[in-house]
Structure 1
Amino acid sequence: MGHYLMNNNSPRHISLIPILEVDSNIQSRVRDIRNEDAVRKWMYTDHFISEDEHLAWLDQLRIDSKQRVFVVLNEDNNPLGAVSVNALDRRHRKSDWAFYLTSTSRGGMGAALEFAFIDFVFDTLALEKLNCEVLEGNDSVVKLHKKFGFVEEGFRRSNIIKEGRRIGVHLLGLLNCEWRTSRQAIYDKYKSRFDQFTFSISFNRE
């Protein structure tokens, strides 16, 4: 079992634990967050997720070696959201990723979480490329990713159906070498925000 720690003097400690390692109550509360209107609005699957569908998703995670989902927990062990690594490709050392937070846990935490998780992907997972997809209209998230060095690599026009209309998808990517070059400057720029939190990420390599 490995841990990644973002060291600072933060009064708030946030833990990222694999969703398959937390109890069923926390897993169920993650479904509640997935069903929040503000979360579903920007997901590919935006219908209300039933309990059976949520359980089937958890079962699929148990056999899917290319996807890892972490629950974001506060100091009181309450779930705040989730972070996922998707389409994990060990041969080419790349993956997609995404995260969502409950509406009461956004703002500075989202930026600090992104910084810590990028470190985890490039240090612990030893990947060379991190990709993400953002739905058209979610300009704040595109802007957030670009603050961390992500480059917009393309735009898939009219790619999915949301609320009865077709919308596009932004494609963004970040290279390990780019992160190494820009990491310190990014940390220095947003240090006051990052220092409000400490992150630990639990990860079993097997």
Structure 2
Amino acid sequence: MYAHNGTDLGVVCFIDIDNAIKAASWGFYLADDELFSSHQVSKRRVWLDLEKEAIDFAQHVLGLRALFCEVLEENKAVIKLHERSGFEEITHTHTHTHRAYAV
């Protein structure tokens, strides 16, 4: 669970952890917009904080060197967020609706 100022606003999951190569896949999901507005919290701010903390956790607690994720092609906001956080696109095919990123 991801809490922001004491309110649960999302969940982060790390899957397919490979300790041999120190890599994993990950994803996150945020609460619906109604919860954000009722707590007067910026969803954008939570996105940024959650991504930063998840990367830090993966590196310093799990000891990972690489994180992989897939993003739907039309989800431009998340693509931009990942790129700002240092993720680089590693695959993109026009026959699929997602892009794979790694940091």
TM-score by length of 1: 0.43
Query: Is the Cα contact below 8 Å between 2:13 and 2:26 reproduced in 1?
Result: yes
- Which of 107, 112, 123 is the equivalent residue of 2:60? 123
Alpha-carbon deviation of 1:141?
0.3
Q: Deviations over 1:112-155 (max 9, x none)?
A: 11111111111111111111110110011001000011101111
Query: Is the Cα contact below 8 Å between 1:152 and 1:170 reproduced in 2?
Result: yes
1:17 is aligned to none
* Equivalent residue runs for 1:89-128 within 5 Å: 89-104=18-33, 105=36, 106-128=43-65
2:3 is aligned to 73
Inter-partner Cα distance in structure 2 for 1:121 and 1:87: 13
- Number of equivalenced pairs: 95
Structure 2: gaps (5+ residues): 37-42
Q: Equivalent pairs: percent with the same residue? A: 31
Alpha-carbon deviation of 1:73?
2.9
1:20 is aligned to none
- The one-letter code matched in structure 1 to 2:59 is F
Query: Is the Cα contact below 8 Å between 2:2 and 2:50 reproduced in 1?
Result: no
- The one-letter code matched in structure 2 to 1:129 is A
Structure 1: gaps (5+ residues): 1-70, 160-167, 175-206
Alpha-carbon deviation of 1:172?
0.5
Q: Given the alignment of the two structures, is residue 134 of structure 1 paired with residue 63 of structure 2, yes or no?
A: no
Q: 1:111 to 1:74 in 2, by over 3 A?
A: closer
Inter-partner Cα distance in structure 1 for 2:87 and 2:9: 24
Q: Please report the RMSD computed on the Cα atoms of aligned residues, expressed in angstroms.
A: 1.6
1:199 is aligned to none
- Which of 83, 89, 98 is the equivalent residue of 1:152? 89
* Equivalent residue runs for 1:8-27 within 5 Å: none
Q: Describe the SS at the equivalent of 1:112.
A: helix
Runs of 4+ in 1 over 4 A off after TM superposition: none
1:85 is aligned to 14
- The one-letter code matched in structure 2 to 1:125 is L
Q: Describe the SS at the equivalent of 2:86.
A: coil
